[in-house]
Chain A
Amino acid sequence: MTAPALATAALDETAVALPVQEPARVARDSRPLRLITCGSVDDGKSTLIGRLLWDTKAVKEDQAASLQRDSKGKQNDLGLPDFALLLDGLQAEREQGITIDVAYRYFSTDKRSFIVADTPGHEQYTRNMATGASTADLAVLLVDARVGLLEQTRRHATIATLMGIRQFVLAVNKIDLTDYDRSRFEQISHEFKELALSLGVRQVTAIPVSALKGENVVYDGRASMPWYEGPTLVEVLELATTRSAQTVGFRLPVQRVSRPGESFRGYQGTVAGGSVKPGDSVVILPSGMVANVTKIVTFDLVRNAAVAGDAVTLVFDRQVDVSRGDMIVAIDSQPMTGLAFDAQLVALQAEGIQPGKRYWLKSGSRRQRVQVQPISQLDLQSGKWNHADELPMNAIGKVHLAFDEQAIFDAYEQNRTTGAFILIDPDTNNTVAGGMITAKRAALGGIHAEDSRVILSLPADLADQLMATEIFSSRREDAEVRRVTAAQAIEIIDTIDE
């Protein structure tokens, strides 16, 4: 085994890392870094995390003993146990040798603690990858050095980006099986860099890794790869930044109204952005009523201020009608309210997302009915958005959302809490999609605010006829056709007339 890397080793920007554009690495953050590992099946994710846990001494003796016992016959030629067994805790996973569901693991170094979500590589379980990505600060993408980038690598990089992850580590794994081929590593790094740039990600560090041998994971791999002068995986993780609290202004989705007695009335929730202090004027949405905060109550003390992340109880200076699902916001920086929004989403269940179906949408503490209209689907190979009438499982799509009553959102880019939502199928109660708001729309059935495409809601047979014509196929980009029933079409036309 090689010597432990110097704890103070600086990131070598010239090696393979792209210029760091995130805020400078300042005082160390004591919050744990949440990371996700992803990539295709058999790229060695579980082995990598197992190695991380093993080399950071997170595996205790009794766990190591049962690991050795469970991996009888599976030991590699280094005499090490099958690390994947540390992660794949479900019986079915062990039987099939694959990861089905996210496993959350905890480890720490002298400098920092980490929560790692080990997510499945199988396309079938993309929903579980999205689950892990939604809360992560950083994504470690694994690629088998012998194989290079796969569609699944692209899918995972794309989902991670959609979910707002802006720091990527590309672990080019199994580098030992290429005889530590530098040009192979550089070729894959370059390819991934192109992909990352096309996704808008600027912070990528590529590392040649042998998870099995523990090279460039916790300990450096200089003995085998003198040509690599960059950081080890752990060094990158120690210096990464946690998600910053977005600053669109104060937001507090109301979870509960606390009325323990006549003398007390407080509104409980977690601050989802900005800050608030006693004396601030706030607006309650959707009613639009204004009140002043008189007290911020917590169990320990009456506080002078609450910031993003704080779970608090607010008391106002007057009686106002506030209930669960309302949002208390800054008076001078309010979220968007309206009946129609644009969003991107990931379809998570076998049934996909059906056009026009009414789902439950939950965002923060607010749950309301929504009609979802798929617009386009991302082609992971070409990176293009193609027209789509429905979204199958695992698809990444753009949709329109139409509500019956006022909805309240920020753009996900601006606030990851008030811009995120899940869709729940009312027939099964299952979570069928995770979505991110991109913009508010004028109104359903109207004209798109940004690209002025026309939306045509037509009876299904008429829609098919129209789409078959040459005129339409040549100008497909200019219009969007929705198949509805004849009755629905009349209804929509009526609302436009009004």
Chain B
Amino acid sequence: MPHIHPETELHNPQSTKPPLDPHLKALENEAIHIFREVAAEFERPVMLYSIGKDSSVLLHLARKAFYPGRIPFPLLHVDTGWKFREMIAFRDEMVEKYDLDLVAHTNPRGAAENVTPFTHGSALYTDIMKTEALRQALDAGQYDAAFGGARRDEEASRAKERIYSFRTPDHRWDPRNQRPELWNVYNGMIRKGESVRAFPLSNWTEVDIWRYIQAEEIPIVPLYFAKKRPVVERDGMMILAEDPRLELLPGEVKREEVIRFRTLGCFPLTGAIRSNATTLDDIISELETATVSERQGRAIDRDQAGSMEKKKREGYF
């Protein structure tokens, strides 16, 4: 039974928060419009929640879109089992705080066969624990629409994504044959078994995300802020070394560094950056002068040329 979100009464209409600048306001309006459109047109939507900064913004926008009602669909977290511990703690905190319906799914085959980023390599591991797991979860829930926080500025094949991205019954994306998408009129017509991935943050850039987090005071995983943490250097990346499952290879040394993360995924595949940014202001000014891109710290993007496109065609988000 739907009910008014518990926060409704707590909300302060005399909020002193300054109004959003017109650029962020326009992005917010667009995202809310997309959320409402999908929720109205599809029977079983779900929101992919990966706990990162984009997911945090997505969650915030979903709460705004349906206020004063609750978010009318569940959140789906594809848990590889190798996420940063702080991410899982944060996830559970959000679920509690905002009264969310969370579905967490781990690929049982991967768990049974003990697939790890170390034993199987990043490409196969990602294929099994993320792509295959996502497909399993989407099939199990019979979801006909799945929201994702992907942004077009992230990567070359993402720059080609529609807002409504059509998928075949076996979750395939055909980038050469996407439906035309004009104005903000989205085509949500599908047959049984087919689905749509919807991307409300398509037109946001990394800086927009951070500026919005700051303006809206959106909670994020503390790993985004610089702190002294144990790290080990591997394949040219600084890996967080706090999980006992990370075995040091010959020649590797664990040391303390002041680091933070620009992007969060599975800890063995996500590189930290040296940074002193401890506040949102710091992060934004660091970004504005950054000389490398955000996904530079993602091992899975670099498996091979066209890596992301290939994964996406097979059903990866």
Residues of A within 8 A of B (CB): 29-32, 60-63, 70, 86-92, 94, 100-106, 113, 115, 127-128, 130-131, 134-135, 255-256, 258-261, 263-264, 266, 268-270, 297-302, 309-311, 313, 324, 348, 360, 362-365, 416-417, 420-422, 424, 429-431, 434
Residue of B nearest to A364 (CB): B185
B250 contacts chain A at the CB level, 8 A cutoff = no
Instruction: Write out the residue numbers on chain A whose beta carbons fall within 8 Å of the beta carbon of B290.
Output: 60
| CB neighbors of A among B205-226 (8 A) | 205
Residue of B nearest to A34 (CB): B203
Query: Do B13 and A311 have beta carbons less than 8 Å apart?
Result: no
Q: A30-B21, A63-B293, A365-B37 are in contact. Are A106 and B183 (CB under 8 A)?
A: no
Instruction: Write out the residue numbers on chain B whose beta carbons fall within 8 Å of the beta carbon of A31.
Output: 22-23, 26
| Separation of A101 and B191 alpha carbons in the complex (Å) | 24
Residue of B nearest to A113 (CB): B23
Query: Do B205 and A260 have beta carbons less than 8 Å apart?
Result: no
A-B pairs with the 6 shortest C-beta distances?
Answer: A89-B156, A260-B69, A311-B32, A134-B182, A299-B64, A60-B293
Binds A, one of B2-10, B45-53, B105-113, B240-248: B2-10
Query: Do A32 and B2 have beta carbons less than 8 Å apart?
Result: no
Query: Do A430 and B179 have beta carbons less than 8 Å apart?
Result: yes
| Separation of A101 and B165 alpha carbons in the complex (Å) | 13
Instruction: Write out the residue numbers on chain A whose beta carbons fall within 8 Å of the beta carbon of B26.
Output: 31, 309
| Separation of A209 and B64 alpha carbons in the complex (Å) | 45
| Separation of A266 and B65 alpha carbons in the complex (Å) | 12
| CB neighbors of A among B137-177 (8 A) | 152-153, 155-160, 175-176
Nearest CB of chain A from residue B39's CB, rounded to whole Å: 6
Residue of B nearest to A70 (CB): B305
B270 contacts chain A at the CB level, 8 A cutoff = no
- Given contacts A30-B22, A431-B187, 13 further A-B pairs with CB under 8 A are A60-B292, A90-B156, A91-B305, A106-B203, A260-B69, A261-B2, A264-B4, A270-B29, A297-B67, A298-B67, A309-B25, A422-B187, A424-B187
Q: A297-B68, A300-B17, A362-B185 are in contact. Are A90 and B157 (CB under 8 A)?
A: yes
Query: Do A60 and B183 have beta carbons less than 8 Å apart?
Result: no
Query: Do B40 and A255 have beta carbons less than 8 Å apart?
Result: yes
Query: Do A92 and B176 have beta carbons less than 8 Å apart?
Result: yes
Which of A128, A299, A420 sits near B67, CB closer than 8 Å?
A: A299
Query: Do A255 and B5 have beta carbons less than 8 Å apart?
Result: no
Instruction: Write out the residue numbers on chain A whose beta carbons fall within 8 Å of the beta carbon of B70.
Output: 260
| Separation of A424 and B179 alpha carbons in the complex (Å) | 10
| Separation of A348 and B185 alpha carbons in the complex (Å) | 15
B189 contacts chain A at the CB level, 8 A cutoff = yes
Query: Do B68 and A104 have beta carbons less than 8 Å apart?
Result: no
Nearest CB of chain B from residue A335's CB, rounded to whole Å: 16
Instruction: Write out the residue numbers on chain B whose beta carbons fall within 8 Å of the beta carbon of A362.
Output: 185, 187
Query: Do B2 and A434 have beta carbons less than 8 Å apart?
Result: no
Query: Do A258 and B68 have beta carbons less than 8 Å apart?
Result: yes
B306 contacts chain A at the CB level, 8 A cutoff = yes
Instruction: Write out the residue numbers on chain B whose beta carbons fall within 8 Å of the beta carbon of A363.
Output: 185
Q: Total interface residues on B, using CB and 8 Å?
A: 64
* 18 contacting pairs across A/B (C-beta < 8 A): A61-B291, A92-B176, A101-B160, A103-B159, A104-B159, A130-B180, A131-B182, A134-B182, A135-B182, A259-B2, A268-B65, A301-B14, A311-B29, A360-B189, A362-B187, A422-B180, A422-B182, A434-B180
Query: Do B68 and A416 have beta carbons less than 8 Å apart?
Result: no
Query: Do B66 and A258 have beta carbons less than 8 Å apart?
Result: yes
Nearest CB of chain B from residue A305's CB, rounded to whole Å: 13
| Separation of A294 and B36 alpha carbons in the complex (Å) | 22
Which of B14, B191, B309 sits near A429, CB closer than 8 Å?
A: B191
| Separation of A403 and B40 alpha carbons in the complex (Å) | 23
Query: Do A30 and B23 have beta carbons less than 8 Å apart?
Result: yes
Which of B23, B65, B183, B203 sits near A311, CB closer than 8 Å?
A: B65
Residue of B nearest to A63 (CB): B293
Query: Do A431 and B160 have beta carbons less than 8 Å apart?
Result: no
Instruction: Write out the residue numbers on chain A whose beta carbons fall within 8 Å of the beta carbon of B181.
Output: 131, 431
Query: Do B180 and A131 have beta carbons less than 8 Å apart?
Result: yes
Query: Do B2 and A417 have beta carbons less than 8 Å apart?
Result: no
B184 contacts chain A at the CB level, 8 A cutoff = yes
B279 contacts chain A at the CB level, 8 A cutoff = no
B63 contacts chain A at the CB level, 8 A cutoff = yes
Query: Do A90 and B176 have beta carbons less than 8 Å apart?
Result: yes
Which of A91, A268, A434 sits near B36, CB closer than 8 Å?
A: A268
| Separation of A422 and B179 alpha carbons in the complex (Å) | 11
| Separation of A396 and B55 alpha carbons in the complex (Å) | 41
Query: Do B178 and A101 have beta carbons less than 8 Å apart?
Result: yes
Query: Do A299 and B63 have beta carbons less than 8 Å apart?
Result: yes
Query: Do A256 and B36 have beta carbons less than 8 Å apart?
Result: yes
Query: Do B292 and A61 have beta carbons less than 8 Å apart?
Result: yes
Residue of A nearest to B203 (CB): A115
Residue of B nearest to A129 (CB): B180
B278 contacts chain A at the CB level, 8 A cutoff = no
| Separation of A30 and B21 alpha carbons in the complex (Å) | 8
B190 contacts chain A at the CB level, 8 A cutoff = yes
Instruction: Write out the residue numbers on chain A whose beta carbons fall within 8 Å of the beta carbon of B183.
Output: 134-135, 416-417, 420, 434
Instruction: Write out the residue numbers on chain B whose beta carbons fall within 8 Å of the beta carbon of A424.
Output: 187, 189
Residue of B nearest to A69 (CB): B305
Q: A30-B23, A135-B183 are in contact. Are A90 and B68 (CB under 8 A)?
A: no
Residue of A nearest to B205 (CB): A106
B285 contacts chain A at the CB level, 8 A cutoff = no
| Separation of A424 and B63 alpha carbons in the complex (Å) | 31
| Separation of A29 and B22 alpha carbons in the complex (Å) | 9
| CB neighbors of A among B57-80 (8 A) | 63-70
Q: A101-B178, A301-B15 are in contact. Are A421 and B185 (CB under 8 A)?
A: yes
Query: Do B155 and A106 have beta carbons less than 8 Å apart?
Result: no
Query: Do A91 and B306 have beta carbons less than 8 Å apart?
Result: yes
Instruction: Write out the residue numbers on chain A whose beta carbons fall within 8 Å of the beta carbon of B2.
Output: 259-261
Query: Do A101 and B175 have beta carbons less than 8 Å apart?
Result: yes
Nearest CB of chain A from residue B194's CB, rounded to whole Å: 8
Instruction: Write out the residue numbers on chain B whose beta carbons fall within 8 Å of the beta carbon of A128.
Output: 178, 180
| Separation of A298 and B40 alpha carbons in the complex (Å) | 18
| Separation of A87 and B185 alpha carbons in the complex (Å) | 25
Query: Do B185 and A311 have beta carbons less than 8 Å apart?
Result: no
Nearest CB of chain A from residue B311's CB, rounded to whole Å: 12
Instruction: Write out the residue numbers on chain A whose beta carbons fall within 8 Å of the beta carbon of B131.
Output: none
Query: Do A90 and B175 have beta carbons less than 8 Å apart?
Result: yes
Q: A62-B296, A311-B65 are in contact. Are A103 and B156 (CB under 8 A)?
A: yes
Residue of A nearest to B290 (CB): A60
| Separation of A92 and B177 alpha carbons in the complex (Å) | 12
Query: Do B17 and A434 have beta carbons less than 8 Å apart?
Result: no
| Separation of A362 and B184 alpha carbons in the complex (Å) | 11
